[in-house]
Structure formats: C-alpha cells, structure tokens
Amino acid sequence: MTPLPCIVLATLLAATAAAPAPQSASPLKVCLVSASAEYKSDESLAGFQKFLDGGYNAACTRVFGADKGDTLPGLEAIDSCDVMVLFARRVTLPPEQLARVRKYFQAGSPLVGLRTASHAFQNWLEFDKEVLGGNYQGHYGVGPVTQVEIVEKNKGHPVLAGVGPFKSPASLYRNTGAAADIDLLLTGTITDPKSKQNVTHPLAWTRVHNGGRVFYTSLGAPDDFANETFRRMLLNAVFWAAKRPVEGKAAKQVTE
C-alpha cells in the first residue's frame, strides 16, 4: 500500500466536503491527537481537519506526538475540547499527561478512536478494554482486501447515515471477545491466506463509558481516509460522540 502524500490527501478531502448549513451553535471543538507514524496519522488527521474546518461547524486543535514516543506536547487541549479523536500508538505518557487522559475519561468525555487507539498508551494497556470495549489481538498480514459490511440491526445508527458497504486495503485487526455492551456497526471479512477460509471480525462499534459516548474503528489506513464512505462515517462519529447533529450538507448514500 503506497501512502498518499499529505497535499494529495488534503485535496481529496476538500473535494468531498459538504457546504456548511446555517450554524445554530458554536463550533464543535475537536482535539485531534496523533502519534501513529506507521499509518501516517499526522497527514491523515491534518487532511481530516481541513475537511471538518472547511465544510462543517467545527474548529480543530491538533496534538501531534511521536509513534512509541514519551510525550504528547499540547495535550492540555483535551481539557477544553468537546470531543477527542485519538490515533496514537504505544505512547508512554509521563505521569502528569497520563493523569490528564485518565481524568478526561473518568469525567465521561467523548472519544472517537482510530485503528491503533486500541494500543495507544503503553503505560495504560487496559485502555482498550476499559474505555473502547475492545480486545485487540494483533492483525492479519497485509494483502487481503477487507470487505466492510453494515450490521443489519444497527443500520439506522446515526454514525452510519450516508454510509454503505465498502472495501479497505488495511490489514484486518483481530478483535475477539469485545465487551458485551458494544453496539456493533461494521464487520470486516477477509480470506485468510493461511487457512483459505473467510474470517470476520468486529470493525467499528459504539459504547458508553462513564456516561460518555465512545466510537472506535480499527480502520484508519491512509487509503481509508481517501475513501468518501469512511470520511462520512468518521464525520458522523465525531458529531454523534459529542451529542451534536452534523451541521453541513447531507451526504448521499455512497458505495465503493
């Protein structure tokens, strides 16, 4: 999979942004926390910021750190945001920053977690089960294309508005034994090259943690961000987690 240059990704994102509707509330304050270089999270979230800021009633702040780093400079921004978007990988936070993150979730503040958010904090490995409700067990190899399907009973969920089945080149995450209280929205299926059998795993879900709304998806590769369907789902998730309607032009049903 060839990563998309930032300028190309930003152009693609801007091209699909919906025109904003008359604003009835103050802009949604979104804090984008990035530290997953393996999946080009800085470039992807920078492009998503342009998509949000340019077409929707949102104002984004970026907190960018290093993959497997030991700090997230500017993390105090989560203290005043309406929703956090987390795309980090195995960061070992200093005590004061880890305490800030724990406080955020203890307060029931909303979260949108992407791909490596399941193992975002090396010194809080229980985050996956405690907050996301997941059970990350590694992933299948790169190669098989993942067929993304809507879970029928939850097809009316607000996060899935304007979203249809699609395909992702990202390797499929193993997520067996997720929490009983998740609402599963998407599944992903591949043909396992070793067993030659189809395997299916949870791919996106919501839950409530300490009263706060949580959305997680194991998608998030650069090619996913270039997909209109994925972007629409992520847009929906950001506003849904914050208990706000999406303020912008309604997206049509899209299938890729």
Residue 54 belongs to a domain: yes
pLDDT for the residue numbered 195: 86
Q: Copy the structure tokens of residue 182.
A: 């998740």
pLDDT for the residue numbered 47: 97
Strand order in the sheet with 28-35: 58-64, 28-35, 83-88, 111-114, 212-217, 198-209, 183-191, 146-150, 166-168
pTM over 0.85: yes
Q: Copy the structure tokens of residue 99.
A: 């305490």
Any long-range contacts for 126-130 (C-beta under 8 Å, 24+ apart)? 129/179, 130/209
Q: Write out the chain's pLDDT in tens, 256 residues.
A: 444 444 444 444 444 444 444 555 799 999 999 999 999 999 999 999 999 998 999 999 999 999 999 999 999 999 999 999 999 999 999 999 999 999 999 999 999 999 999 999 999 999 999 999 999 999 998 888 999 999 999 999 999 999 999 999 999 999 988 999 999 999 999 998 888 899 999 999 999 999 999 999 999 999 999 999 999 999 999 999 999 999 873 344 333 3
pLDDT for the residue numbered 146: 97
State how many domains the chain has: 1
Residue 251 belongs to a domain: no
pLDDT for the residue numbered 142: 83
Residue 82 belongs to a domain: yes
Residue 255 belongs to a domain: no
Residue 256 belongs to a domain: no
> At 166, which amino acid appears?
F
Task: Find, among 104, 113, 117, 92, the residue nearest to 216 by Cα.
Answer: 113
**Quick check: 51 and 45 in contact, CB under 8 A?**
no
pLDDT for the residue numbered 253: 38
Residue 250 belongs to a domain: no
What are the distances in angstroms from CA 137 to CA 2, 118, 134, 169, 255?
25, 10, 9, 19, 29
pLDDT for the residue numbered 61: 98
- CATH assignment of the domain containing 169: 3.40.50.880
Domain that holds residue 219: 6-241
pLDDT for the residue numbered 193: 85
